[in-house]
A and B are shown apart, each in its own frame.
Chain A
């Protein structure tokens, strides 16, 4: 029963956001698109967190998704947005299937540092690629969606696409978290040896979880590239991955909607902090984060759950 209610709520919120977007100023549309894209990547980080793993290298898949869009448009002549995103997912899944064999054997800080290392190696490779503009990156060519070109009303189209993808991913993950693999992940976080005793392969479970998280991250990267119209190697730099972990903690792992809300709050706090205090926005960001950790240890989402509990 509760599953149905969550799903209905997600769909309702998505429709409401889409409707509100039609009347929103352009900058909000763009900020919302970026927040949703970031939210998708954070979703992947949260998936790993539910299994007790913290990735400081999710930027790797974010970057792969972005570059797949950029390169696919530029060198393969693909303009359809969905095909470009698909290309990113396929590439990412291949890479994640290879890396996953290694990294899922690691835990805690070693997992974090190993994923960081691979992300930084991709960063280094892209910086070395003079033909791809090195650190300057390059522009994404105009894209189409169901035959409509992005030239006329690209930002709104990008937002609608982001809403649809975010909804699809949220619905899928909502089910996934309640599936046997999803639940096994949480069990692994609590005690992986006992999970083995129950006849579940932790290696296999973590591997599946890792690959799906990577694919979700790639979609977020592709959406960012489509919306911003530019890709560059910073996407794989460790500070970007750190930002994803930051947002994941901000939101908490309680609900599939939490990463999206956290991403939106993070983006808004940052853009207003930059506007109000161009010289001290990092400090504002740091203080906000500390306050949330101090007073909402389970993330922003706990505001909603506790209220519900109090009401019932």
Chain B
């Protein structure tokens, strides 16, 4: 029984993290049709920014938890928005209209460049901003403990998910974005400034990636290469759920999270395959992912 509880708790905590990482990816793909490989670098940028800002705050004698979170949020959001703006305006803008796969390769080049840029800025020594995670403490259930920080990440993830849904479904910009998703050309003809919408979308997607990194920074030690590790995870979640769908990303994250927790608690050997196995299994029965819509074939 303890194990069942543990699987549920761990599964949802992991799912919330996966959703945070995948949300930005799916927003950008949904609107812009760009599968952004550099999303992992944005995650790493957010993590580095938050970790070094927190390190600076704690080294200066700070010990207020709320201050730490404010610093974390501000540093991650700033770097995500700035990097997103720079990538979109400085590079992607020149490339619109190219093949979807070519766009993917372009973002791969961005990833390679950013990896080394981060190394030049932050060096290779691991950054370690454990204080907020340690300070928030834990809840005990029998021998099992749950970190309050992990629960907070879960809450943030829910808030971001609901916020994104509200933004896309209930606001004016959201309506414009949905019209672009539905038909880019007609939207342009109706007077929608697609270029500006793309900039906004990419900045929001990039910021989401950086926030995911920033929130992860106090849990892990931030080292070069963490970005590359999360890309494929995020891809798998997004493809399982259906590309471009927020609901899909959430459901995909929950399925993958629960499957992974089950495997770790019962058969740790299978953990390495479980995500790919889930993705392959879902795609066999739902070729466009759980919430993906079939694209009409051109005639």
User: Do A's and B's CB atoms come within 8 Å in the complex?
Assistant: yes
Q: Which residue of B lies closest to A125 (CB)?
A: B273
Q: Contact check, B283 vs A290: say whether CB atoms are below 8 A apart.
A: no
Any chain A CB within 8 A of the CB of B165? Answer: no
Q: Which residues of A contact B280 (CB under 8 A)?
A: 114, 117-118, 121
Any chain B CB within 8 A of the CB of A280? Answer: yes
Q: Contact check, B120 vs A117: say whether CB atoms are below 8 A apart.
A: no
Any chain A CB within 8 A of the CB of B287? Answer: yes
Which of these binds chain A: B92-100, B129-137, B250-258? B92-100
Q: Which residue of B lies closest to A197 (CB)?
A: B299
Q: Contact check, A117 vs B279: say whether CB atoms are below 8 A apart.
A: yes
Q: Contact check, B91 vs A110: say whether CB atoms are below 8 A apart.
A: no
Any chain B CB within 8 A of the CB of A199? Answer: no
A10 to B112 alpha-carbon distance, docked (Å): 34
Any chain B CB within 8 A of the CB of A246? Answer: yes
Any chain B CB within 8 A of the CB of A77? Answer: no
User: Within the complex, which residue of B100, B112, B236, B279 is in contact with A286, where a contact is CB–CB below 8 Å?
Assistant: B112
Q: Which residues of B contact A125 (CB under 8 A)?
A: 273
B15-34 residues with Cβ-Cβ distance < 8 A to A are none
Any chain B CB within 8 A of the CB of A175? Answer: no
Q: Which residues of B contact A116 (CB under 8 A)?
A: 232, 235, 276
Q: Contact check, B105 vs A246: say whether CB atoms are below 8 A apart.
A: yes
Any chain B CB within 8 A of the CB of A3? Answer: no
Q: Which residue of B lies closest to A191 (CB)?
A: B298
Q: Contact check, B287 vs A238: say whether CB atoms are below 8 A apart.
A: no
Shortest beta-carbon distance from A130 to chain B in Å: 11
Any chain A CB within 8 A of the CB of B288? Answer: yes
Q: Which residues of A contact B111 (CB under 8 A)?
A: 286
Besides A109-B243, A116-B232, A118-B280, 13 other CB < 8 A contacts? A113-B239, A114-B280, A117-B280, A121-B280, A125-B273, A193-B298, A238-B232, A246-B105, A280-B119, A285-B112, A286-B116, A290-B91, A290-B113
Q: Which residues of B contact A (CB under 8 A)?
A: 35, 91, 94-95, 98, 100-102, 105-106, 108-113, 115-117, 119-120, 228, 232, 235-236, 239, 243, 269, 272-273, 276-277, 279-280, 283-284, 287-289, 297-299
